[in-house]
Amino acid sequence: MLNKIKISAVSYQNTIPFLYGMENSDYIDRNTCISLDIPSECARKLLDNEVDIGLVPVAVLPFLEKYEIISDYCIGSQGNVKSVLLLSDVPLTEIETIFLDYQSRTSVSLIIILAKYFWKINPFFKHAKKGYEQQIVGKNAGVVIGDRCFTLAKKFKYVYDLSGEWTKYTQLPFVFACWVANKQIDNEFINQFNLALKSGIEHIDQSIKKHSNHLLTNSDLADYLKNDIQFLLDEKKREGLKLFLEFLQKE
């Protein structure tokens, strides 16, 4: 392979099994250039053709001119996921403003869908900037995703898990991000790529030892990766993804 495949992967702890698998595949390591980015930047890079493959927020899929989901692995969940939250000092019915995490695209779309179709509330949605977490006070709530949730969730009286809320109302799992290519990728690469991802998921404990950022203990991080995050993009998750994309078309 003459030109290395450019890959953008999510920089959160939920991605470390994938990273471990890719690092320990001679084929993938030799043939790729991998960057670690917040989810919204993964999406931007794929949209702007700066990378060939991205672990991208699924809300970006309708904006891609051409794309292919190249893997049966994803970042998904069935029920509470603990790292995609609405944080608030007041209950849903009293929230006036919701700050939307600048690191997210899928969760921003999900909160709007939950509010409109399931919670039946009509807050003002405000796109947030870095440091917005300090503004989550009183009747101002905020969507927070990723590793920050592990410390911030303890500070608020009301914590709504967006994945759990989706599953409660739809009875389906939720897919936050999947591996997407914006161009034709060689079949051999795709096969080796999926073998690497599979190997990483089979070695979660080893991936934690190498990549933990220590926001959680190793045992809590293992519990999160083995029980809260679901990596297999199975038929039920594809059904949940299809429904989510249908909701997006209505907006």
Residue the block writes with tokens 């209950």: 91
pLDDT tier at 250, thresholds 50, 70, 90: confident
In tens, the pLDDT along 133-163 reads: 999 999 999 999 999 999 999 999 999 999 9
In tens, the pLDDT along 164-176 reads: 999 999 999 999 9
In tens, the pLDDT along 198-248 reads: 999 999 999 999 999 888 899 999 999 999 999 999 999 999 999 999 999
pLDDT higher than 70, residue 1:
no
- What is the reported pLDDT for 181? 97
Check: CB of residue 103 under 8 Å from CB of residue 146. Answer: yes
Mean predicted lDDT score pLDDT of the chain = 95
pLDDT tier at 2, thresholds 50, 70, 90: low
Which CATH number does 5-78+173-242 carry?
Answer: 3.40.190.10
- What is the reported pLDDT for 68? 96
Query: What's the alpha-carbon Rg for the chain, to the nearest Å?
Result: 18
Helix (H, G, I), strand (E, B) or coil at 12: coil
Average pLDDT over residues 101-111: 93
In tens, the pLDDT along 19-60 reads: 999 999 999 999 999 999 999 999 999 999 999 999 999 999
- What is the reported pLDDT for 215? 86
In tens, the pLDDT along 64-92 reads: 989 999 999 999 999 999 999 999 999 99
Q: Tokens in use for 115?
A: 């509010």
In tens, the pLDDT along 114-140 reads: 999 999 999 999 999 999 999 999 999
Residue 13 Cα to chain centre, angstroms: 11
pLDDT tier at 95, thresholds 50, 70, 90: very high
CA distance 141 to 128: 11
Q: What is the pTM of this model?
A: 0.93
Strand order of the β-sheet with 84-88 is 124-127, 97-100, 140-145, 84-88, 158-161
- CA-based angle 147:121:137, to the nearest 5? 50
**CATH number 3.30.365.10 given to 84-170:** no
- What is the reported pLDDT for 143? 97
Q: Where in the chain is CATH 3.40.190.10? A: 5-78+173-242, 84-170
Residue 42: is it exposed, middle or buried by C-beta count within 10 angstroms (0-12/13-18/19+)?
A: buried
